[in-house]
Amino acid sequence: MLNNWDKWMAKKHKKIRLRCQKGIPPSLRGRAWQYLSGSKVKLEQNIGKFDELDLLPGDPKWLDVIERDLHRQFPFHEMFVSRGGHGQQDLFRVLKAYTLYRPEEGYCQAQAPIAAVLLMHMPAEQAFWCLVQICEKYLPGYYSEKLEAIQLDGQILFSLLHKVSPVAYKHLSKQKIDPILYMTEWFMCAFSRTLPWSSVLRVWDMFFCEGVKIIFRVGLVLLKHTLGSSDKLKSCQGQYETMERLRALSPKIMQETFLVQEVRCWGTVWVATLLDWAALGWAELA
């Protein structure tokens, strides 16, 4: 597929989607993410750009914040366990380069775990362009200062929850829990700080192929299976208890096989509704 990528994308995209849903082989994952996201083309159109940004000093106000965040990203992973190690150095380079590439946006803390996951699968230059694609193509506006896009998608998620799980929707409405309180880290970090590692990789395989709708599907699966029945709500009588439950999700519903199967099953049921809501929301924002 990768060796004849344009042909597959043009004529057999459905098969690519099914392959991503089944899970990309680990040895090919980094390369596949670059093809799926379009970051490979982006890099080829901007040869030398990353090296140019890498040599620039950067804005001190962003450098200080980035430096403070480096040790918080996957601290037990061999790439990032050492302060000043090659993993943290590459993470700093990628995040600094983005602040120079998009100075009007600068740096957002949620970009750090995204970049760290990318660096586990590809060199710094490729990770940078993949990060650019995530920020500009997949999650546009998520990392801007006012977070308008994430707030809008929170309302879209809540409206979809009304259709998918009226019980969970009613409970969250009754407790006056705004979506921004529980879905911000989920969406902005693409679940990289929420799910078990094997589930993160499977979700990202589908996310790079199908886009932000995968993030919505995962969020709805988690909400439905956490708050979607009267039995589940017995221990969530108040706002505090509900938020604690959403912070400490059941390992069962986050397990790779269960989660991916739920996401795949739900796709055909309400994806059209999601697209309609998203189009409406973005039109209102514009």
Sequence ranges of the domains in the chain = 2-16+29-138, 148-285
Instruction: Give the amino acid at 181.
Output: L
Q: Which pLDDT score, from 0 to 100, does residue 277 have?
A: 53
Query: Can you tell me the distance from the alpha carbon of 267 to that of 220, in angstroms, rounded to the nearest whole number?
Result: 11
Q: Which pLDDT score, from 0 to 100, does residue 153 have?
A: 93
Residue keyed to tokens 């912070």: 247
DSSP secondary structure letters along 43-102? HHHTTTHHHHHHHS---HHHHHHHHHHGGGSSTTSTTTSSTTSHHHHHHHHHHHHHHHHS
Map residue 178 onto helix, strand or coil: coil
Q: How many CB atoms lie within 10 A of CB 232?
A: 17
Query: Can you tell me the distance from the alpha carbon of 62 to that of 67, in angstroms, rounded to the nearest whole number?
Result: 9
Q: Which residue numbers in the chain have pLDDT < 50?
A: 275, 279, 282-286
Q: Which pLDDT score, from 0 to 100, does residue 285 have?
A: 41
Structure tokens at 276: 């309609």
CATH topology of domain 148-285: Cyclin A; domain 1 (1.10.472)
pTM greater than 0.85 (yes/no): yes
Structure tokens at 24: 């990309």
Structure tokens at 87: 């993993």
Q: Which pLDDT score, from 0 to 100, does residue 259 have?
A: 96
Write down how long the chain is: 286
Query: Can you tell me the distance from the alpha carbon of 187 to that of 189, in angstroms, rounded to the nearest whole number?
Result: 6
CATH topology of domain 2-16+29-138: Helicase, Ruva Protein; domain 3 (1.10.8)
Q: Which of 155, 227, 163, 216 is nearest to 187 (CA)?
A: 216
Residue keyed to tokens 């992973």: 77
